[in-house]
Structure 1
């Protein structure tokens, strides 16, 4: 008995196009960056132990992998951003990922073996020059991308990017102004804020895929329900992370690693969403296509 329907192509091999292969490799690459980060962290655990958060492994030998994987994921997200509302949220995620990479989390004295911390909770002074270099590079590159995007939009080579360009301009202005006038605020909060906004963007993408048309075929009802569930988990987890981070920020003694647990839950939800969406879009001829019908999907 042969399979029919929009997802029947998953049951038989089909000849892929160059655009399909590029789309598939980029999607697999983003999922792979998360695996790479986790592998690097696990290889570091025997040396430094379990730290209060995944972000704290920036100060360990896992740093190069952590930074490189996030920058690579940012480029892939930008390339996969698609159209309309999904484009805006994935472009936002691509904007925030490099900030997570170049501005590390604040840590307490004794948190990371071998790393001296001069205050109750901050980015160690020995890493500040690295942050300055990273943020300056980020701003220069972002300015170039925004300028190129504006030129291409004016020429008509890129369409529908106005919201993404506006968001990029706002992020550029905020990071530059805060970095120049309140560098201690940038050092203390940029990593946390960028992480929350990045994961929030992914949660928003899950909601969009549940209720709006982002591919030619309508996703199965069960898949849309799973997307809503994943978005709900991410939103609740993010709210918990915000509350825990703020409430324990000034704690003198070590606290239970709730932040580490929350980050693992968030990454697990991200991985689940990403691989399900990759399966959903695997055989799309134009992976970001929208057919000429209402963009709103039928009710669940």
Structure 2
């Protein structure tokens, strides 16, 4: 067997770790059902015993996406997805009274309970501070010539836009961040993953293009993911059923399929640090 370099081994482990993130979330939900019951969405399990795994898996996924994003349009899309993943983890979804056993909701309409909003202030402040530090490091490295500004410029610009938008909403309209932040980040994340799958199929890398059947698979995953998101959003507005839970589980499964296809395609790259 050919020798495996340290960089190859590291990137393989990162890819497998990222594949484990949606599996961990689905298992945490499964193990929480006996106590919490079937809740309206995966996000509602943030208020259950699945909370630790839910948040940790999303933060881990963000770190892996940043390390594995590669080059081209896929890099920009995955880097922005990496910025959204922690927001899904730290901004709770609003809940109604009685939706989650044991959680006291002190408002008539769906809202985030008071105890959790206190945690949110700390989490958002930390997110913005770390994000600003990462952005500053990227600018310094680009100025030094350690990374090409032509390649990283779009990512840095979009990262600055996401951080600025989050800061403005959190400062000027924190109630809107609490009410809509989780849903916007979650839908945005999966839409970006669908766009990455389409880019892999329609604008593949010249150095390691996917096989024809893999490109077809990427298109199928992208279309299925977009249809799932649309169906979930529409159904949630029309039916009082746990359709969001089913839609989110399907989205997680499709993300897992997409990432395993990526992992299989790029498993044996000679230089994953540059060509991931």
- TM-score by length of structure 1 reads 0.87
CA distance in 2, matches of 1:93, 1:241: 20
Whether the aligned pair in 2 keeps the contact of 1:37 and 1:69 (CA below 8 Å) is yes
CA contact (8 A) 2:233 2:244 kept: no
Task: Give the unaligned 5+ runs of structure 2.
Answer: none
* Structure 1 residue runs of 4 or more that deviate by more than 4 Å after TM superposition: none
Which residue pairs with 2:47 in the alignment?
59
Instruction: Give, in angstroms, the shift of residue 216 of structure 1.
Output: 2.4
Alpha-carbon distance in 2 for matches of 1:161, 1:241: 34
Q: For residues 33 and 201 of structure 1, what CA distance do their matches in structure 2 show?
A: 17
2:231 maps to: 240
SS in structure 1 of the partner of residue 40 of structure 2: coil
2:84 pairs with one of 81, 88, 96 = 96
- Verify the 8 A CA contact 2:141 2:147 in the aligned structure 1: yes
Aligned to 1:293: none
Match for residue 34 of structure 1 among 22, 31, 35: 22
- In structure 2, the partner of 1:124 is 113
Once the two structures are superposed, residues 224-275 of structure 1 have per-residue CA deviations (whole angstroms, 9 ceiling, x without a partner) of: 0110010001111122233344x36xxxxx9111101111111111111111
1:1-300 to 2 correspondence within 5 Å? Answer: 13-119=1-107, 120-159=109-148, 160-214=151-205, 216-245=207-236, 247=237, 255-287=240-272
In the comparison of the two structures, how many residue pairs are matched?
Answer: 272
Which piece of structure 1 moves more, 73-82 or 31-40? 31-40
Report the aligned-residue RMSD.
Answer: 1.4
Shift of 1:69: 1.0
- Equivalent residues of 2:22, 2:253 under 8 A apart: no
Distance in 1, Cα, partners of 2:94 & 2:126: 21
Q: Which one has the bigger helix percentage?
A: 2
Distance, in Å, in 2 between the alignment partners of 1:286 and 1:163 is 23
Which structure 1 segments of 5+ residues have no match? 1-12, 249-253, 291-300
Contact kept, 8 Å, 2:229 with 2:251, in 1: the verdict is yes
Give the conservation status (yes or no) of the 8 Å contact 2:7–2:273.
Answer: no
Q: Which has the larger radius of gyration?
A: 1
